[in-house]
């Protein structure tokens, strides 16, 4: 684990992030109270949520608390997932591991307020590729919503196999299960902003930011596996940063997949401030 220099200046920032982590899921999920832990359960189709430390509750969660939440997740048929910030909830990792889950570390990064806003252009992107945000009625939006599913199903940064045919199938699946419709309505309501790198109308890479007041998290940046190694993820992230700032967002943050990816985000001015932890059953 890479050490992070924490001092009193970071405490207000981490508190803002904790407020965000508690507020953002409530727009699309119901919250079930397990004392020191809160389980967010998505209402309708879309990415499943997780459990995390309860906001404003004193006392650390125990392994018994984690097991109770896992029992409920299994009952609901949702992933047994927990997410939290190591530095904000230092005792939770031991409880989660005692309850039998595996913990993964990810650099938690915040955009330097003094970092320049990226240009609307996408430097380094192939000619013929455009990068822009997509409105709710944009015909490219369903593909942009589907791309991350393919990207995360084939993890890593190496060029992969999923391409246009897989994307078309994922678009059909999103239409069938209602997840695309739900995401489009979030875009229409301003709860989610989607940016994509497009070539001939096809989304090659896409990501989102989800503003809550003056804070927004960049999530789900993924590239169609067959289109990797072209700088598209960085270009899409730059577009999301520019959009967030245009909306008056003062704190833009994300969790990087690993240290190598974190260095790429560093080119835009993101700096590591903490460690995001994700726990799940062993595979």
Q: pTM of the entire structure?
A: 0.92
Quick one: pLDDT at residue 123? 58
pLDDT for the residue numbered 122: 56
Kindly give the confidence (pLDDT) of every residue in the chain, 283 residues in length, as a single tens digit, with 9 standing for 90 and above: 344 445 567 899 999 999 999 999 999 999 999 999 999 999 887 789 999 999 988 778 999 999 999 999 999 999 999 999 999 999 999 999 999 999 999 999 999 999 999 875 555 678 789 999 999 999 999 999 999 999 988 887 888 888 889 999 999 999 999 999 999 999 999 999 999 999 999 999 999 999 999 999 999 999 999 999 899 999 999 999 999 999 999 999 999 999 999 999 999 999 999 999 999 999 8
Contact yes or no for 108/265 (Cβ under 8 A): no
Judged by DSSP in three states, 255 sits in strand
pLDDT of residue 254: 98
pLDDT at 194: 98
Token pair listed for 255: 């969790």
Distance CA(257)–CA(187), nearest Å, equals 25
User: Which among 245, 256, 236, 279 is positioned nearest to 106, based on CA atoms?
Assistant: 256
Which residue in this structure is represented by tokens 């299960």?
A: 177
Write down the pLDDT at residue 2: 43
* Confidence at residue 81, expressed as pLDDT on a 0 to 100 scale: 98
Check residue 172 and give its pLDDT.
95
| Angle of CA points 15, 39, 255, to nearest 5° | 50
């Amino acid at each position: 684990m890479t050490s992070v220099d924490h001092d009193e200046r970071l405490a207000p920032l981490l508190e803002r992030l904790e407020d965000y982590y508690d507020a953002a899921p409530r727009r699309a999920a119901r919250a079930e109270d397990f004392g020191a832990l809160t389980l967010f359960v998505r209402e309708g189709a879309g990415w499943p949520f997780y459990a995390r430390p309860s906001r404003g509750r004193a006392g650390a969660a125990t392994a018994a608390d984690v097991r109770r939440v896992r029992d409920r997740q299994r009952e609901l048929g949702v992933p047994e997932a927990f997410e939290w910030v190591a530095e904000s909830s230092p005792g939770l990792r031991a409880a989660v591991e005692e309850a039998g889950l595996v913990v993964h570390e990810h650099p938690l990064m915040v955009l330097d307020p003094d970092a320049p806003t990226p240009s609307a252009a996408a430097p380094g992107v192939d000619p013929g590729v455009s990068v822009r945000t997509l409105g709710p009625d944009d015909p490219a939006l369903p593909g942009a919503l589907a791309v991350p599913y393919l990207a995360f199903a084939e993890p890593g940064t190496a060029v992969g196999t999923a391409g246009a045919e897989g994307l078309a199938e994922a678009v059909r699946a999103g239409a069938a299960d209602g997840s695309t419709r739900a995401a489009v309505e979030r875009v229409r309501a301003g709860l989610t902003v989607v940016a994509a790198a497009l070539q001939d109308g096809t989304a090659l890479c896409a990501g989102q930011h989800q503003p809550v007041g003056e804070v927004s998290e960049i999530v789900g940046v993924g590239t169609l596996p067959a289109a990797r190694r072209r700088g598209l993820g960085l270009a899409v992230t730059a577009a999301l940063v520019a959009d967030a700032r245009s909306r008056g967002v003062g704190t833009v943050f994300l969790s990087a997949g690993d240290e190598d990816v974190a260095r790429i985000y560093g080119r835009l001015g993101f700096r590591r401030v903490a460690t995001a932890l994700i726990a799940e059953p062993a595979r």
